[in-house]
């Protein structure tokens, strides 16, 4: 079980709990750095501060994570009810590092915040809501939690990758593309937090995945249905080169479909703008339909079309027309429940 399999309501429940703990994580990190003689004074929110932080974190792992309770598990593991392993204790400690990393991003992008990033079939991932400014090449999401926990696991099992990996990943996925230096503040952003008391592990309010499930008596919402145009897409976001290897969508299929979607708006006959060919997410047709345009190498590689505010009958009519256009243009539509 992972975040890709959550419903929107379940993801929102987890995200809300993390937002509540965010400041507490930073306070805990400040106290841990202070207790262990870590680089507290250099945690100024700059990208350069990430390397000494990860070096300190690797040293703490090698020393058995002093001060981290026995049996402590990451919020992610507790949410899904995973059985305890020592790796999950390492990931619990890395939760604090994750939130410092997000502070580095926020100093450069003050509006960036954790939130939902809608994906096809009504699912949601745990990633930054301000994703367009924190995406690598507009297609690979930068997910701080997964990056840090992955590095923590590599350090723990001794694969020899070493502390610089997190700094390199951060530079690869954010700094290089934006051209920003992430210079940070002029002084430590964590040191002032020593004035606040650290909350014990037992007081962390983490919901359980099972508590977010609806009872059998709850009415089932109408499923959201979507169609994806063309089936020759490579896995999106897995690799930039892989995306660019996937065939360009046939304009004979794309143009009629975009023109039809444009007619759904109140401004009848207005086509969807050419900018959709550059990729991105759009809600069109008076919010009836959501379209995800997948682009790589300057070419449109795929479209995912799903109901946004469209009712069942409205979506049936849209799907019927899309099917007609697909037959006419020789393209393929794949329905997804």
Average pLDDT, rounded, for the chain: 63
What are residue 281's DSSP bridge partners? 292
Contact criterion met (CB below 8 Å) for 48 and 79: no
Residue 93 banded pLDDT, cuts 50, 70, 90: confident
| CA distance linking residue 251 with residue 173, whole number of Å | 31
Contact criterion met (CB below 8 Å) for 33 and 42: no
Residue 197 Ramachandran class (φ > 0 left, ψ -120 to 50 alpha, else beta): beta
Query: Which of the residue ranges 4-18, 68-82, 141-155 would you say has the lowest mean pLDDT?
Result: 141-155
Which pLDDT does position 191 carry in this prediction? Answer: 94
| CA distance linking residue 116 with residue 31, whole number of Å | 30
Residue 38 banded pLDDT, cuts 50, 70, 90: very high
Nearby residues of 10 by Cβ (< 8 Å), 6 or more positions away: 209, 212, 213
Both tokens assigned to 318: 């849209």
Residue 36 banded pLDDT, cuts 50, 70, 90: very high
Contact criterion met (CB below 8 Å) for 278 and 302: no
pLDDT tens readout for residues 133-183 = 333 323 333 444 444 444 444 444 444 444 444 444 454 444 444 455 556
pLDDT tens readout for residues 248-262 = 555 555 666 766 766
Rg of the chain on CA atoms, in Å: 23
Which pLDDT does position 22 carry in this prediction? Answer: 80
Domain boundaries, the chain: 3-212, 226-336
pTM over 0.85: no
Q: What is the mean pLDDT of residues 270-295?
A: 62
Both tokens assigned to 165: 């990996």
Which pLDDT does position 250 carry in this prediction? Answer: 55
Contact criterion met (CB below 8 Å) for 36 and 52: no
Q: Is 254 exposed, middle or buried (0-12, 13-18, 19+ CB in 10 A)?
A: buried
Which pLDDT does position 37 carry in this prediction? Answer: 94
Both tokens assigned to 334: 């794949």
| CA distance linking residue 332 with residue 337, whole number of Å | 16
Q: Is the pLDDT of residue 185 over 80?
A: no
Tell me the percentage of the chain whose pLDDT exceeds 90: 8
Higher pLDDT, 87 or 296: 87
Alpha-carbon distances of 21 from 34, 35, 180, 304, rounded to whole Å:
20, 21, 28, 35
Residue 274 banded pLDDT, cuts 50, 70, 90: low
Residue 164 Ramachandran class (φ > 0 left, ψ -120 to 50 alpha, else beta): alpha
Phi, psi at residue 62, to the nearest 5°? Answer: -65, -25
- For residue 268, the Cα-to-chain-centroid distance in whole angstroms is 35
Nearest Cα residue to 164 out of 154, 178, 176: 154
Query: Among all chains, which residue has been given the structure tokens 């703490």?
Result: 60
Higher pLDDT, 29 or 294: 29
Beta strands in the chain (DSSP E): 114-118, 124-128, 135-136, 140-141, 226-229, 280-284, 289-296, 299-307, 333-336
């Amino acid at each position: 079980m992972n975040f890709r399999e959550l419903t929107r309501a379940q993801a929102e429940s987890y995200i809300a709990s993390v937002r509540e703990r965010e400041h507490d994580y930073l306070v805990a990190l400040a106290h841990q750095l202070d207790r262990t003689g870590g680089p507290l004074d250099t945690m100024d929110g700059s990208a350069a501060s990430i390397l000494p932080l990860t070096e300190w974190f690797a040293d703490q792992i090698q020393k058995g994570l002093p001060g981290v309770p026995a049996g402590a598990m990451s919020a992610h593991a507790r949410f899904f009810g995973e059985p305890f392993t020592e790796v999950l204790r390492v990931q619990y400690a890395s939760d604090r590092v994750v939130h410092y990393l997000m502070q580095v991003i926020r100093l450069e992008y003050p509006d960036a915040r954790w939130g939902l990033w809608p994906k096809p079939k009504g699912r949601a991932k745990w990633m930054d809501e301000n994703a367009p400014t924190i995406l690598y090449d507009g297609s690979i999401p930068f997910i701080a939690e997964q990056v840090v926990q992955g590095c923590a696991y590599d350090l723990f099992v001794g694969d020899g990758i070493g502390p610089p990996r997190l700094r390199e990943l951060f530079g690869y996925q954010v700094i290089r593309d934006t051209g920003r230096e992430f210079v940070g503040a002029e002084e430590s952003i964590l040191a002032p937090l020593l004035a606040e008391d650290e909350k014990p592990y037992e007081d962390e309010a983490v919901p359980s995945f099972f508590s977010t499930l609806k009872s059998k008596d709850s009415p089932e919402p109408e499923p959201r249905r979507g169609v994806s145009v063309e089936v020759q897409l490579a896995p999106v976001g897995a690799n930039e080169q892989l995306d660019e290897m996937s065939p360009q969508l046939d304009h004979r299929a794309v143009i009629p479909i975009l023109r039809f979607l444009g007619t759904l708006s109140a401004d009848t006959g207005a086509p969807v703008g050419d900018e959709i060919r550059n990729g991105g997410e759009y809600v069109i047709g008076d919010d009836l339909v959501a379209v995800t345009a997948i682009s790589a190498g300057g070419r449109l590689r795929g479209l995912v079309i799903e109901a946004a505010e469209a009712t069942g009958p409205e979506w049936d009519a849209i799907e019927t027309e899309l099917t007609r256009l697909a037959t006419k243009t020789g393209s393929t539509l794949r329905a997804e429940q």
